[in-house]
Amino acid sequence: MSRYRARPTLRLHIDWTRCDGRGLCTELLPTALDRDDWGYPLTRDGSREPEIPDRLEADARAAVRLCPRLALALRPNS
């Protein structure tokens, strides 16, 4: 059995020119995102584009689909 642990295959991109801080993404992805005092998302890991573990992929896809400003996108992890 290998000890190799695969990296998550997706990253969450936030388009800051579109985001207006409604906070829906932080409600759908509370383990990946927090929010600041104005409602804008903050990544919990401090990165620009947080890695999305496989177990959160469905929630991340829902956040992308439901974002009212279309400010979210999933990108392949390189």
Q: Would you say residue 5 lies in a domain?
A: no
Its pTM stands at 0.87
pLDDT at residue number 36: 96
Q: Specify the amino acid at residue 20.
A: D
Under the banding of pLDDT at 50, 70 and 90, the label for residue 7 is: confident
pLDDT at residue number 8: 79
d(Cα 64, Cα 59) in Å, to the nearest integer?
9
Q: Would you say residue 3 lies in a domain?
A: no
Which structural domain, as residue segments, surrounds residue 16?
A: 10-76
pLDDT at residue number 2: 53
Neighbouring C-alpha atoms within 13 Å toward the C-beta of 16: 6
Count of domains forming the chain:
1
Q: Would you say residue 64 lies in a domain?
A: yes
Q: Would you say residue 4 lies in a domain?
A: no
What is the pLDDT of the chain when averaged over all its residues?
A: 92
Tens digits of residue pLDDT in 11-47 = 999 999 999 999 999 999 999 999 999 999 999 999 9
CATH of the domain at 53: 3.30.70.20
Q: Would you say residue 33 lies in a domain?
A: yes
